[in-house]
Chain A
Amino acid sequence: MDEYIVLMRLDLITKEKQPTPDQLKVYMEHYQEWVNGIIAQDKFVGGTGLDAKGKVIKPGGVITDGPFAEIKESLAGFVIIRAGSLDEAVEMAKGNPILNGEGNSVEVRRINGQH
């Protein structure tokens, strides 16, 4: 079993694309259910959502707002799961409910433990 990180990307800037509080509640419930299903398989290692606000630091001490000033796919959160192979990890990640949203994506990468 290896650990895989599941990066969740979605559009956090386009105003029309943001969910209403009621929608958000439903999305979060679906998301929690997906996480709980992984926990029940004893394959959940950890993870968290990320604030929409942030800073990006570039060479020369240039600091800008956002990580997502120009792109429509911002990192919204991540989870780390245990899986026997990349295929299996992808299979688990497929159930992530953010994939119900147009334009969203989930990226799966094996954690190789090296810097």
Chain B
Amino acid sequence: MDSTEIIPQLFRTEYRKIVAVLCKHFGFDQMEIAEDITSDAFLTAAETWGQKGIPPNPTAWLYTVAANRAKNYLKRGRVFNTKLAPQLRRSASAGEPEDIEVEFSPQNINDSQLRMMFAISHPAIPPEAQIGLSLRILCGFGIDEIAEAFLTNKEVINKRLFRAKEKIREAGVSLDLPGPTEIDARLSSVLTTIYLLFNEGYYSASDNRSLRKELCFEAIRLCQMLIENEPTNTSEANALLALMCFHASRLDARLDANGAIVLYEEQDVSLWNSDLVSKGGYFLNRAASGARLSKYHLEAGIAFWNTQKEDTKEKWGQILQFYNLLLQLEYSPMAALNRTYAYSKVHGKEGAIREALLLGLSNNRFYYALLGDLYTGVDDERALLNLSEALALARTPAERATLQKRIDGLVKKE
């Protein structure tokens, strides 16, 4: 492997670690400095390795360069004296700048990344910025990759990240881990960020398949980090991990070669990943130890049944129950629509149509798509009307293609 291949790989795995460790030294509000030094270390690597060849331990090489750059930066001192000195004095290990050890031990890397996760998920930072920052700082994605995932351009992402960093300074978000009294509430925003990240990959409008898949697995990796750390190894975190594993098991089956969505009913079950299904089962079991039934538990329960392809009374009865409980915990139009679908599987289409009409979610494209589905075979004319309504509201080419296929199927039947 030459340096042009190894550097992008190392960037993905090491950039986030180096930034996290440096941020722990400089403070969360000095993130740009940490990022600059880290990028600089990679640039140096590209130059040096291209001429002299790849060193025996490239990762350690990067850590050493980054640590030296950080020390030099601190020694240069202008910012040190005015901004950083008061903060560094607080920590016992820090004295004179010469004594500062930037430590890249696995333990310190983990601890730094965990702190970073909590800081980025701080409620003061808007959700969109949280995802952007997570992708950049926690997952080591390039700006162009983030732009692609959001279907926008680099400038927009750069501006968004810039504003997020401003917010961090304004709100005075620190890298301190929350104490025992705070940890539950703060962990819940960390879990939300991870869940958003996963959904960004799972439902993203981008048709770059490998990018979407990576997003999902990055979310899984972050959640796994929480589980490996005792105070954050909660029943909710385990439930979220189970939920993501169950969903991720169908990643290869739900998109066809052209990137179009393959409906659940039409998926090739042999493409479902049974390792991820059993992994999900393992974490769902561990999640069962808690006293609280969170939305992640319920969604993981639903996701489990979705890994069972066969339509049984038990399957749909359970899914319906989980949606009922989910709606009791937290109403969402999507859960109400999915509940109605499960209702049709348990009680038949006609009853479900009555229930659906009561939801009154006009302007919601999924509402019309559901009605289209329920009316199919009961009243095909109405089915067509509703599917056309959904098509008019559809937002992505993939959605339009799926709906058009169903409309064509109905027209042919007539």
- Complex interface: chain B residues within 8 A of A51 (CB): none
Stretch at the interface among B169-177, B231-239, B254-262, B323-331: B323-331
Task: Flag A14-26 by CB within 8 Å of B: 1 or 0 each.
Answer: 0000000000000
- Complex interface: chain A residues within 8 A of B359 (CB): 40-41
Q: Evaluate contact between B327 and A36: CB separation under 8 angstroms.
A: yes
Q: How far is the CA of A36 from the CA of B355 in the complex (A)?
A: 10
Q: Evaluate contact between B355 and A39: CB separation under 8 angstroms.
A: no
- Complex interface: chain B residues within 8 A of A36 (CB): 324, 327, 339
Q: Evaluate contact between A37 and B331: CB separation under 8 angstroms.
A: no
- The listed residue with most A CB atoms (<10 A of its CB), out of B328, B355, B358, B359, is B358
CB contacts under 8 Å to B, within A25-59, are: 32, 36-37, 39-42
Nearest A residue (CB) for B336: A40
Smallest CB separation, A88 vs chain B (Å): 11
| B340 CB-CB contact with A under 8 Å | yes
Smallest CB separation, B114 vs chain A (Å): 37
Nearest A residue (CB) for B324: A36
- Complex interface: chain A residues within 8 A of B360 (CB): 41
Nearest A residue (CB) for B360: A41
- Complex interface: chain B residues within 8 A of A39 (CB): 324, 327-328, 331
- Complex interface: chain B residues within 8 A of A37 (CB): 355, 358
Chain A facing B: main interface SS: helix
Task: Flag B46-58 by CB within 8 Å of A: 1 or 0 each.
Answer: 0000000000000
Q: How far is the CA of A32 from the CA of B340 in the complex (A)?
A: 15
Task: Flag B225-248 by CB within 8 Å of A: 1 or 0 each.
Answer: 000000000000000000000000
CB contacts under 8 Å to B, within A55-90, are: none
- Complex interface: chain A residues within 8 A of B324 (CB): 32, 36, 39-40
What's the count of A-B pairs with C-beta under 8 Å? Answer: 24
Q: How far is the CA of A36 from the CA of B346 in the complex (A)?
A: 14
Q: How far is the CA of A42 from the CA of B324 in the complex (A)?
A: 12
Size band of the interface chain A makes with B: under 10
Smallest CB separation, A100 vs chain B (Å): 16
Smallest CB separation, A50 vs chain B (Å): 20
Nearest B residue (CB) for A91: B358
Q: How far is the CA of A32 from the CA of B324 in the complex (A)?
A: 9
- Complex interface: chain A residues within 8 A of B336 (CB): 40-42
Q: How far is the CA of A37 from the CA of B360 in the complex (A)?
A: 13
Smallest CB separation, B293 vs chain A (Å): 16
- Complex interface: chain A residues within 8 A of B328 (CB): 39
Q: How far is the CA of A40 from the CA of B356 in the complex (A)?
A: 9
Q: How far is the CA of A104 from the CA of B324 in the complex (A)?
A: 27
Q: How far is the CA of A27 from the CA of B216 in the complex (A)?
A: 44
Q: How far is the CA of A37 from the CA of B331 in the complex (A)?
A: 12
- Complex interface: chain A residues within 8 A of B339 (CB): 36, 40
CB contacts under 8 Å to A, within B308-337, are: 324, 327-328, 331, 336
Known: A36-B324, A36-B339. A42 touches B358 (CB 8 A): no
Q: How far is the CA of A69 from the CA of B336 in the complex (A)?
A: 42
Q: How far is the CA of A32 from the CA of B328 in the complex (A)?
A: 12
Q: How far is the CA of A76 from the CA of B359 in the complex (A)?
A: 28
Q: How far is the CA of A32 from the CA of B359 in the complex (A)?
A: 17
Q: How far is the CA of A32 from the CA of B343 in the complex (A)?
A: 13
Smallest CB separation, B319 vs chain A (Å): 13
Nearest B residue (CB) for A92: B358
Q: How far is the CA of A88 from the CA of B327 in the complex (A)?
A: 22
CB contacts under 8 Å to A, within B336-367, are: 336, 339-340, 355, 358-360
Q: How far is the CA of A42 from the CA of B331 in the complex (A)?
A: 6
Smallest CB separation, A25 vs chain B (Å): 14
Q: How far is the CA of A40 from the CA of B331 in the complex (A)?
A: 7
Smallest CB separation, B199 vs chain A (Å): 22
Task: Flag B94-128 by CB within 8 Å of A: 1 or 0 each.
Answer: 00000000000000000000000000000000000
Nearest A residue (CB) for B337: A40
Smallest CB separation, A98 vs chain B (Å): 19
Smallest CB separation, A60 vs chain B (Å): 43
Nearest B residue (CB) for A42: B331
Nearest A residue (CB) for B328: A39
Smallest CB separation, B371 vs chain A (Å): 14
Q: How far is the CA of A37 from the CA of B328 in the complex (A)?
A: 11
- Complex interface: chain B residues within 8 A of A41 (CB): 336, 358-360
Task: Flag B63-89 by CB within 8 Å of A: 1 or 0 each.
Answer: 000000000000000000000000000
Q: Which residues of A contact B (CB under 8 A)?
A: 32, 36-37, 39-42
Contacts A41-B336, A41-B359 aside, 17 further interface pairs with beta carbons under 8 A come to A32-B324, A36-B324, A36-B327, A36-B339, A37-B358, A39-B324, A39-B327, A39-B328, A39-B331, A40-B324, A40-B327, A40-B340, A40-B355, A40-B358, A40-B359, A41-B360, A42-B331
Sampled A-B contacts (8; CB under 8 Å): A36-B327, A39-B327, A40-B327, A40-B336, A40-B340, A40-B355, A40-B359, A41-B359
4 smallest CB-CB distances across A and B, nearest first, come from A40-B336, A36-B324, A42-B331, A39-B327
